[in-house]
Structure 1
Amino acid sequence: MQKQIRKLTEMAIAGDLPEIHKWYQENRELPLSTIEFYEKILKPVMESVGSLWEKNKITVAEEHLATASIDYLMTQLRYQIVHPGQLKRSPSILLFCLEGEQHSLGLKMVSDVFRESKWNVKFLGSSVPTEEVIKTIDKWEPDAIGISIALSPLLPKLKDCLIQISEARKEVDILVGGRVVSLYDLEDFGINNVHLCRDLRDIESFALNAQNKSQPVLSEGDS
C-alpha cells in the first residue's frame, strides 16, 4: 500500500492526469470500499503533499496541481457511487465550507460517503457566506447540514453560523468536521444537535444510522 501511496503522490504533484487515469484503471479492482480507499490511500497522499509543502520541498503551484489531480481521481470514483434513482424519501444533507475556508477536497470525500449511503446531497463548495447558507436551508429544508472548517481563526465565524442555522431550523442535525475539531472543544458553543466528526468513519456511522431511521416500516401487506 505504501508503494501505491508514494507513486500516486508523485503523479499528483506532477499533475500527470493521463498516468493517474492509467493508475486508476489498473487499481480500480482493489478490495477496498470507497471510504477505505479515501482513508487508506487518498488521505495519506494529501497528508504527504501537505507535509512536503510545509517543508518547502514542493512549490505552491505543485501543491495546487496535486489537489487538482486528487480531485480528478475522486471524480472518476464518483461515477461508481452516484445513485441516480434516489428516492424522494431519502434523507438530505447540505454541505459547505465555512466562509473563508478555501479547501473543499475533504468535504468532497464527505459528500461521496453520504452518496454511497444513498443520501440526497447538495454540495455548495468552498467559502460560502452564512446568509447564502440560510437561504438554501430555507428553500431546500435539508435533514442535516455539514460544515467544514480547518482554520482556527474562523472559529468565531463558525459559532455565529451555527447559531444562525439553529435559529433557522432548530431540530436539524449539524455535522462539523475539519482539522479544528481535534484541536478545540467545540461543545463549549452550547448549541444542540451538533455532531463533531473527526474522520470519515464518524461520517459513515452518522449517515447509515440516520438512513436506517428514515426508512418506513412496511406492514406485511406492503412487503
Structure 2
Amino acid sequence: MTGASAVAPGARAAFDAHLTHADETGATALALGLLRSGTAAEDVLLRLIAPAQAAVGARWVSTEWSVAQEHAATHVSERVVSAVAAAAWAPRPRDSAPARRVLFACVEGERHTLPARIAAEVLRLRGFDLTFLGAHVLVPRLVSHVHRHGPDLVALSCMIPVRLPASHRLVECCRRAGVPVLAGGSGFGPGGVWARTLGADLYAPEPATAAEMLAVRWPEAPREAAPLEHLADEEYSRIVRQRAELLRRLLARLREGYPWLRDPGAEHAEAVLEEFGRLPDFVAAANYVDDPQVLTDYLSFGVQFLPARGVPTAALGAALAALSEPLGGLPRAAAHLDAGRRWLAAAGHAVPPA
C-alpha cells in the first residue's frame, strides 16, 4: 500500500532532470533517498517513475527529444525500478500462507517492458509471488513455462493494438491450460474493451487497481472461450498475406506526394516512413477484433506525430486512400477504412476520395 509520504513536485522535477541528462546515478540516488525518507516504494514506482516516463514519451512524440534521448531515459528508468525493487524486497514470514504465483509477460512483438515491470513490482510489493518473462514472449515459451511451473495467474502486457492478434494466441493458450489471464496496457483499448473481446478474464487500467481487484476476487479457472466468429471470413489472414504489397503501395503514394521522404537522410524521413509502415498492421488489428477504433486511435496519434515532423495530416487521408483499392473487396476492412476517413473529416483534416 502507498504510504503517507507523497512524492513532492520538487522530487519529480529533479527526477525529470536526471532523465534528461541520462543520469542513472543521480536518478537512482533520488529514488532510494525517497525510500529512506519514508516514501512507500509503490509511490516511488507509480508517482515518480511512471509519470516521468510518460513525459519522456510525450517529448519524443513532439520531437523535443530524439529517439536516442528517449531510449537513454528509458534505460535509466528501468535501472531505477530495479534498484527500488531490490531495496524494498523483504522475505515472507515463514508462517505466512503461500503467495499466489503470478507470471508476467509482454506479448509477442511487444518490447515496451517498463510499464509491465512497474506493474509486476507493485504486485510483488502487495505480497504476490512474481515471475517476469520480459519482452516479446512467444507462445511456445509461455506454454512451456505455464506447464512447468503452474502459475495461478498470467498477466499480459500489450501497449500497441497491432499486438492484439498475438495477445489472443497467448490468452487462448492460458485458457487451455486452465490459467486465468489478467490483461493490462493501452493496447487493449479504452477500458480494456479488446481484452474482453479476446477472452481475458480481467483487465486492470493500472497496477494498484490490479492488486485491489485480485485481493477482492480471484478469477475462477477459465472455460474455453467462444471463437471470434467474424474471423471465419478470412479477411484478417488475407490482409496479412497482402502486407508487403500494401506497404509498397502505401510508401509509393507517400513518396509521390512528399518527395523529401525519398531522401533517407532527410530529417524525420525514416521515422515518418516507419510509423506509416504500421498502418497496414493497424488495419489488420482492427479487422481482427472487428472494431474500427483500433484504426481511429492510430489516426489520433498520427495527427500529433506527423505535424511535429513536418508532414501535414492530409498524409493520413492519402495513406487510407492508398489502401482502399487493394482492400476494397474485403467488406469489413473497407468499412474500417471508411470509418477512418470519417474520423479524419470530423476532426477537420483533409481527406482525399478513396
* Pick aligned residue for 1:181 from 170, 184, 188: 188
In proportion to residue count, which structure has more helix? 2
Bigger drift between 104-113 and 91-100 goes to 104-113
Structure 2 residue 104 is the aligned partner of structure 1 residue 104: no
Runs of 5+ unmatched residues, structure 2: 1-7, 219-354
Residues 71-220 of structure 1 mapped to structure 2, 5 A cutoff: 71-85=78-92, 89-169=98-178, 172-183=179-190, 185-186=193-194, 188-189=196-197, 191=199, 194-209=201-216
Residues 13-28 of structure 1 mapped to structure 2, 5 A cutoff: 13-28=20-35
1:144 partner amino acid? L
In proportion to residue count, which structure has more strand? 1
TM (normalized to structure 2)?
0.54
Runs of 5+ unmatched residues, structure 1: 212-223
Structure 1 residues 68 and 190, CA gap change in structure 2 (3 angstroms):
closer
1:79 partner amino acid? A
The count of corresponding residues between Structure 1 and Structure 2 is: 208
% of aligned pairs identical? 17
Structure number with the bigger relative contact order (C-alpha 8 A, sep ≥ 6) is 1
Larger Rg over CA atoms: 2
- CA positional deviation for 1:117: 1.9
> Do the aligned partners of 1:159 and 1:189 also contact (CA within 8 Å) in 2?
no
| TM-superposition CA deviations, 1:95-136 (whole Å, max 9, x none) | 100010001111111111121122211110000101110110
Which whole-Å CA distance do the structure 2 matches of 1:25 and 1:159 have between them? 38
1:116 partner amino acid? L
Which whole-Å CA distance do the structure 1 matches of 2:118 and 2:214 have between them? 13
> Do the aligned partners of 2:174 and 2:180 also contact (CA within 8 Å) in 1?
no
SS of equivalent to 1:185: helix
SS of equivalent to 2:109: coil
Aligned-residue CA RMSD in angstroms?
2.2
> Do the aligned partners of 1:81 and 1:115 also contact (CA within 8 Å) in 2?
no
- CA positional deviation for 1:26: 3.5
> Do the aligned partners of 1:113 and 1:203 also contact (CA within 8 Å) in 2?
no
- CA positional deviation for 1:34: 2.5
- CA positional deviation for 1:181: 3.3
SS of equivalent to 1:107: helix
Which whole-Å CA distance do the structure 1 matches of 2:45 and 2:197 have between them? 30
Corresponding residue for 1:45?
A: 52
Bigger drift between 67-76 and 98-107 goes to 67-76
2:122 partner amino acid? V
Structure 1 residues 143 and 195, CA gap change in structure 2 (3 angstroms):
same
Structure 1 residues 148 and 100, CA gap change in structure 2 (3 angstroms):
same
Which whole-Å CA distance do the structure 2 matches of 1:28 and 1:186 have between them? 37
> Do the aligned partners of 2:104 and 2:134 also contact (CA within 8 Å) in 1?
yes
